[in-house]
Structures are given as C-alpha cells and as structure tokens.
Amino acid sequence: MEILTRAGALAFLPLATAILVVIWALMGIYKRNYWRARGIPQHLTNTLIGVHGPFYLRERAFAEHTIDLYNAHPGARYYGSFDLLTPVIVLKDPVIIRDVCVKYFDHFHDHNSFVTEDMDPVVGRNVFSLTGARWKDMRRTLTPNFTARKMKGMVKLVAECSKKFVGYFEEHPEVAACFEATDTFTRYANDAIVSTAFGIHVDSMNDQGNNLYRHSKEVASFLNSWKLLAFRLVPKLMRLLGVKFLSKATDAFFKGMIGGTVRTREELGIARQDMIDSLLQAKRSRDPVEVTNEDIVSQALIFLIGGFDTTSSLTCSLAYALASNPKVQDKAQREIDELMLEGGDGVITYERLGDMKYFDMVISETLRMYPPTPLTDRLCTKRITIPGCKEGSPDFIVEVGTSVIIPMHGVHNDPKYFPEPEKFIPERFGQENRDKVTPFTYMPFGLGQRMCIGKRFALMEIKILFAQLLSKYSLSFAGKTRLPLALRKDSPSTRFVGGLWLKLDKRDL
C-alpha cells in the first residue's frame, strides 16, 4: 500500500510541476502586459516577488535598492511595477509626491499593510498597520504624547538615561576604546523609550542580558526574518498554519509586562502622563476609539521597534558621519560647549536643545544621506486622476488597490535637488539655504498625516545623547571598522557589514 501511495505521488509530481509552470507563465504575461496596456513605463525585476526582488533575494542593500528604483526610467515622473500581484506605481516627481501624501491624502490614507488583526491580534493593531477610520482614531489618541509640551516633560527622563549611558563609558574605559555602535546605541534607544513612554526603568548597558532588551531585540529582528517575506508571499498559508510574528515567549513577556503595568495603574490610580496613560484614558472614555489591553500592547511594541530600529539606525549613522568628518564634529562640540558648559550649570533643557542650530543641520544632513526608512508607501483607497507619466502624456487614472511607492532615499540622492549628494554638507540646511531646498524632496520621516508620529521624540532623544557624549568625548573609528563601510543586504535599515566599531577619546577640557 505504501509503495502504491509513493507511486501515485510520483505520478502526480509532473502534473503539479506543469501546473506551476503554467501559473508562472500566466503571471509573467499578466505582469508584462498590465502597465504596457495602460501606456505606463514598466519595471519588472522578479516575476514572482516583484519590485522588491533584489532586496528580498539579498542582491542589493535596501538603501541601494531604493536608489535603483528612483533612478529607473530617467525622465519619467513615475513608472509601473508589481509587489507580488499588487500593481505598484513608483513615484519620482515631488509635485505628485505632494499630491499623494498631502493634497489628496483622502485618496491615499492607508499603508499597504501585510499584517492584519486576523493574522496577529497584537502586531496587527499598531498605528502603522491600522487603516481607515480605525487608524485615524488611534493616531488622534496617540498624538498628544508627542507635542512640544510633552517633550519638555520628557527631557529630564531622557537626560537621565543618556547620563547613565555616558557614565558607563567613564566607568569602563576599555569599552570606550572599542565598541560596536549598532548594539550599543540600540541599548540606549531601548532604555530611553521604555522609560519615557511606559514608565519602566532598565539599564541595558550594565545589565546586558536583561529580559526587556532580549525580547525587544526579537521584536525588531522580525524586520530581517523569513517571516516578513513569508507573510507577504503566502499570508493565508501562514494564517492557516497559525504562525505568529512573535514567539510565544516574547508574546507572553510583553503581554505580561505591559498588562501588569496597566493593572497596577488602574488599581492604584497612577497617572504618569506618558503614552500608556493616554491609552488608559482612551480605554476608560472609549472616545474617540475603543481601546483594549491588546491595543495598548500593540502600540507599545511599535514604539519599541521604532526605538530599536529607526532611532538606533539614525544614531549609528550620525556617529558614522561625525567620525568621518572631524571638522564637522569639532564645530558641533564648540556649539555644545557654549550651550551646555558655558551656560553655567551644564543642565540640558528643551530650550537649549532648540538652540543647537548647527547640530540640527548635522542631523538633517545625516537624515538626507542615511534616512532610517529609505522608502515609504501609500495604498489608493479612492479612484483618482494624476498627471501623465511624462511631459505631454495623457493623465492617468489610479485604481483602488494600487500601491504607491515613494523611494525617499533616491530623491535625497538626486543631484538635481541636492548637488554633490555623496558629500556630507550640513550647510545645505542652514538658515540661508533651507528655502533653496525644493519642496517635497526632503522627507526622512515621511510626509503628510502619515508622517512618523515619533519624529519629535526621536530627535530629542538623539540630541540629548550627543550633547552629553560630545561634551566629554570625541568620536573616531576603532581599528576593527572595515573602511570603506558596506551596507548589509539583510536589513531594511542602515546596518554595516562587519559592524560599526568606534572609540571614544576623552576630551581635554
């Protein structure tokens, strides 16, 4: 009987192979003709995966892939491609980018999210993945946590984290002599965000193996895992198999930790004026949105990912830029000395952070050259007509369900908008030059109502860290760093092959 079963399976194999070949061929014909029939230039890099094939197949680093997307079809305002089976428009023209993200936002208010509440009831509820009215209500609930007033209240907490972080190097000069920046700065970002947003105090430098950092690292590692591609390729199969984004242990850890914080605050009536407090108020009032404990856990996780991935990525890129440009670093240190040391008390305040004009320019140029998220997207939810893909071309109707990709990193590297884009020139963003930047060509945090909600917090967190760090140390490359650095091909964020190894040289003050 077993022999017959095997024989039947072997007999079916050629038929199954033939069916797959036919499906593959039909898919290729469909994709090749879709945009051609609509008079739009098309760009096919991989028949099955689509526009992001070079990244998913580890052929190109994500930042490099984004520049490739932007540089394809010179002279076109946009062109067509596919993301799996979803038609995709890759936008290159700043005016149309403005229309999609700002002017006609009501036609493009959603991201092309591949994770839903059905797939994962925790991860699928975060503010990035939510769509429609549900997203709008949750965004409105979270926004008050990131006003200038709230930032002023958080400065002291973040300053304590940065002081503790810099103090670790003073106590461990052997670490200051050579440390890997990605892991090290991620620890700082983790501690700062959980302290200010969730009221949980950890010291990830002195307690290297703490559970919060370990589980947070797993949450962030999802962005580089096989699951990311699998959920995009075969979401129904993943759902059928019961595969979740997080392991059972990590899922249980965060539900227990944040759930415990929520219970304690509710039972004792604790109000801490942080993100969890805002969500608890929304939970009690059910206005503008009904909030559950799973919603609270989900928002906590997305901000942890922000701390782990985007903020730490920007911090590493900034450290790399400073180490690569000693004259820029010297000028930044002089400004910090004047504000923090000559100010009399050395205390960091929100107002003093606002006076770091040159350092603002340094951060802006870092964000231009190394945006933490090189690409963003929108999903067409309401049919709309946009200008033709080239000068003189007829207008084009974008259908509901079409995905729009904006290769921000590519725009940032276009010499038409930023001359000599490969050079680090903070003065591009000086007071006298800001108005010369073409509108909607600089967008490191996205544009419009879907712009990164944590922008203010991330910038404050980074400025406080470097104000503390550069007032005592100068950054340079350690011997382990392999220059010139190459970008890793397995990460959507700015990560370097072999790591970014730095050393801190004590300043003679």
Decide which of 65 and 194 is more confident. Answer: 65
Lowest mean pLDDT among 1-5, 239-243, 275-279, 494-498: 1-5
The predicted model gives 104-117 an average pLDDT of 84
Angle (deg, nearest 10), helices 181-198 and 455-472: 120
Percent of the chain, pLDDT > 70? 88
Residue indicated by tokens 């038409």? 416
Strand ranges inside 216-364, DSSP E: none
149 pLDDT band, cuts 50/70/90, is confident
> Is the pLDDT reported for residue 16 higher than 90?
no
Angle (deg, nearest 10), helices 312-324 and 326-336: 110
Q: Domain 35-506 has what CATH class?
A: mainly alpha
- pLDDT, tens digit (0-9, with 9 covering 90-100), for 319-356: 999 999 999 999 999 999 988 765 556 678 888 888 89
Percent of the chain, pLDDT > 90? 43
**Residue 426 has what pLDDT?**
97
CA pseudo-torsion sign 128, 133, 138, 139: positive
* Spatial contact of 308 and 217, defined as CB atoms under 8 Å apart: yes
420 pLDDT band, cuts 50/70/90, is very high
Distance set, CA 68 to CA 88, 374, 490 (Å): 16, 12, 17
> Is the pLDDT reported for residue 395 higher than 70?
yes
**Residue 271 has what pLDDT?**
77
3-state secondary structure of 414: coil
Neighbours of 166 (CB within 10 A): 21
The predicted model gives 225-249 an average pLDDT of 72
Q: What is the DSSP string of 356-373?
A: -HHHHHHHHHHHHHS-SS
Q: Which two tokens stand for residue 118?
A: 């059905």
Q: Which amino acid is at 376?
A: T
CA pseudo-torsion sign 476, 480, 485, 490: negative
The predicted model gives 497-505 an average pLDDT of 93
CA atoms within 13 A on the CB side of 493: 22
* Rounded-to-integer distance, Cα 457 and Cα 305, Å: 14
- pLDDT, tens digit (0-9, with 9 covering 90-100), for 431-478: 999 889 999 999 999 999 999 888 888 999 999 999 999 999 999 999
224 pLDDT band, cuts 50/70/90, is low
4 pLDDT band, cuts 50/70/90, is very low
- Residue ranges per structural domain of the chain: 35-506
Contacts of 237 (CB under 8 A, 6+ apart): none
Mean confidence (pLDDT) of the chain: 85
